[in-house]
């Protein structure tokens, strides 16, 4: 194993560790940290022993990746975890025991009552309420809608959500992206496909991490099977929305669907509120909300699409309509980059909130 590089505190600024720096989310994280206002002292890159010694660039500097170990958290103030659930479950408490604040992107702690689930635009104060020294980052589907819904909730008070997702392949990590690209290559140029039941499936063969072909198709499934036919992804949307908004009784029905998009989740949301809504006021609330872009001019075919949103930071909202049958309900279409706000960006924002505590000392 390579020796740990020395940490040199810069101007008393906090030291950051990125665990999982070599992964899909970790790679976007390095890019985000290189472009946002730099609040960090030293940065330490951590991954599995397979990646130890590898060199990666962040903030214009080349840094060596070190293997995950207890010593790797020595001198670290804040540790981001962009690793599988089981790795976070084991190692985030180790980082916390070493005195670091762990900000975890996995699903390991999201529903733990002693771990806050934080979206800085919605519930920033919760970042300080961390008895285990761990803060969780919500799942990418919830994150792709919750900033906009939080703004509408502050105006009208949410009562119920009916959500359909149109989720990108990269939500299933790098293997998901690789599988979609391979499938697209297999079907490209064949002008007969998509006309007979099973013809796409026969050409594609192995469907990779998806339970059905994704190219030329949509697949009504993401995650694992839970009671009553619900998928784990659908339950995450329900449980995490309730926790972030502090609404344990919020009624939520979600149907999660995978679509042949590389990155950027889209959602339709039917949101029911305690008070009567107004289309123009709702549009104004969304236009003013930090982290939200309103793109809503259907007369000129202006609405968000994943192809236009990918690589950007905000939650994009369009098709804002008052329900024809319920004066208390709005219907919306939202898009958010699942690797940026849906994962790395929100984690970076949480870490920056915690970094302020170090700088305030
Ligand atoms: N993809 C998304 O849209 C998304 C969105 C929100 C949250 N998340 C969550 O973010 C986490 C990372 O996802 P990802 O898509 O970036 O996964 P990924 O591409 O598979 O990357 C996994 C990372 O974890 C590291 N790792 C794996 N096993 C390890 C071990 N035993 N010890 C130390 N490091 C280990 C890998 O290091 P090596 O390269 O050395 O193997 C790699 O850096 C997951 O919990 C995921 O659920 C993903």
Q: What pLDDT, in 10s, does the model give residues 308-348? A: 999 999 999 999 999 999 999 999 999 999 999 999 999 99
CA distance 219 to 212: 6
Let me know: does 295 contact 316? Beta carbons within 8 Å: yes
Based on the number of CB atoms within 10 Å of its own CB, is 224 exposed (0-12), middle (13-18) or buried (19 or more)? exposed
Pocket of ligand 1, beta carbon within 6 A? 20-26, 47-48, 50-51, 68, 82-85, 87, 105-106, 139-140, 170-171, 173-174, 338-339, 342-343
Q: How far is CA 265 from the centre of its chain?
A: 9
**Which pair of tokens denotes residue 183?**
């499938």
Sign of CA pseudo-dihedral 58, 63, 64, 68: negative
Active site residues: 140, 265
CA distance 114 to 143: 20
Tell whether the model's pLDDT for residue 228 goes beyond 70. Answer: yes
**pTM of the full predicted structure?**
0.94
DSSP letter (8 states) at residue 271:
E
Identify which of 32, 69, 72, 84 to mutate to test ligand 1's pocket (most ligand atoms within 8 A of the CB): 84
Per-residue pLDDT, 1:
44
Per-residue pLDDT, 6:
59
Identify which of 28, 32, 48 to mutate to test ligand 1's pocket (most ligand atoms within 8 A of the CB): 48
Check whether 22 is labelled as a binding-site residue. yes
For residue range 109-160, list pLDDT tens digits in order.
999 999 999 999 999 999 999 999 999 999 999 999 999 999 999 999 999 9
Give residue 284 CA to ligand 1 midpoint distance, Å.
38
- Torsion angles phi and psi, residue 36, rounded to 5: -80, 165
Give residue 20 CA to ligand 1 midpoint distance, Å.
6
- Torsion angles phi and psi, residue 55, rounded to 5: -105, 130
Check whether 110 is labelled as a binding-site residue. yes
Query: Helix-strand-coil percent breakdown of the chain, rounded to 5?
Result: 35, 25, 40
CA distance 137 to 105: 5
Segment 201-230 mean pLDDT: 98
Segment 185-190 mean pLDDT: 96
Spatial CA neighbour of 204 closest among 170, 175, 180, 176: 180
Give residue 46 CA to ligand 1 midpoint distance, Å.
11
**Which pair of tokens denotes residue 289?**
């909300």
Give residue 355 CA to ligand 1 midpoint distance, Å.
23
User: For 263-289, b where at least 16 C-beta lie within 10 A, e where not — what string?
Assistant: bbbbbbbbbbbeeebeeeebbebbeeb
Give the model's confidence band at 174: pLDDT under 50 very low, under 70 low, under 90 confident, else very high.
Answer: confident
Per-residue pLDDT, 24:
85
Tell whether the model's pLDDT for residue 3 goes beyond 70. Answer: no
Identify which of 82, 91, 104, 261 to mutate to test ligand 1's pocket (most ligand atoms within 8 A of the CB): 82
For residue range 262-294, list pLDDT tens digits in order.
999 999 999 999 999 999 999 999 999 999 999
CA distance 32 to 37: 10
Check whether 281 is labelled as a binding-site residue. no
Give residue 233 CA to ligand 1 midpoint distance, Å.
17
Atom of ligand 1 nearest to the CA of 106: 45
Per-residue pLDDT, 55:
98
* H or E segment and range at residue 293: strand 292-294
- CA gyration radius, the chain: 21
Segment 68-83 mean pLDDT: 97
Check whether 171 is labelled as a binding-site residue. yes
**Which pair of tokens denotes residue 26?**
């970790």
Nearest residue (CA) to ligand 1, atom 46: 106
Q: First-to-last CA distance in the chain? A: 35
Tell whether the model's pLDDT for residue 4 goes beyond 80. Answer: no
Segment 6-18 mean pLDDT: 78
Let me know: does 91 contact 108? Beta carbons within 8 Å: no
Spatial CA neighbour of 285 closest among 101, 118, 157, 93: 157
Check whether 224 is labelled as a binding-site residue. no
């Amino acid at each position: 194993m390579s020796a740990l590089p020395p940490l040199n505190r810069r101007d008393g600024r906090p030291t950051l560790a990125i665990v999982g720096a070599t992964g899909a989310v970790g790679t976007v994280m390095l890019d985000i940290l290189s472009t946002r206002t730099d609040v960090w002292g030293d940065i330490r890159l951590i991954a599995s022993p397979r990646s130890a010694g590898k060199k990666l660039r962040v903030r214009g500097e080349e840094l060596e990746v070190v293997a995950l170990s207890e010593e790797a958290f020595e001198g670290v103030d804040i540790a981001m975890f962009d690793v599988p659930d089981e790795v976070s479950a084991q190692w985030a408490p180790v980082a916390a025991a070493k005195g670091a604040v762990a900000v975890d992107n996995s699903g390991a702690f999201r529903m733990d009552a002693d771990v806050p689930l934080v979206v800085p635009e919605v519930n920033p104060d919760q970042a300080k309420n961390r008895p285990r020294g761990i803060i969780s980052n919500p799942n990418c589907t919830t994150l792709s809608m919750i900033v906009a819904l939080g703004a509408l909730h502050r105006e009208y008070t949410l009562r119920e959500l009916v959500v359909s997702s149109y989720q990108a392949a990269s939500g299933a990590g790098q293997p998901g992206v690789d599988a979609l690209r391979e499938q697209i290559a297999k079907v490209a140029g064949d002008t007969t496909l998509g006309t007979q039941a099973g013809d796409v499936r026969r050409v594609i063969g192995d469907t990779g991490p998806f339970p059905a072909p994704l190219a030329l198709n949509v697949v009504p499934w993401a995650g694992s099977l839970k009671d009553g036919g619900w998928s784990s992804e659908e339950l995450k949307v329900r449980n995490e929305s309730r926790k972030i908004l502090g609404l344990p009784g919020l009624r939520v029905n979600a149907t999660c669907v995978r679509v042949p998009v590389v990155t950027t989740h889209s959602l339709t949301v039917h949101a029911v509120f305690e008070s009567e809504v107004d289309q123009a006021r709702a549009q104004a609330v969304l236009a003013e909300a930090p982290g939200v872009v309103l793109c809503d001019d259907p007369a000129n075919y202006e609405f968000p699409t994943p192809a236009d949103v990918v690589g950007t930071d905000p939650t994009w909202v369009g098709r804002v309509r008052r329900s024809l049958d319920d004066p208390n309900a709005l219907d919306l279409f939202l898009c958010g980059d699942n690797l940026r706000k849906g994962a790395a960006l929100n984690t970076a924002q949480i870490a920056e909130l915690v970094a302020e505590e170090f700088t305030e000392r």
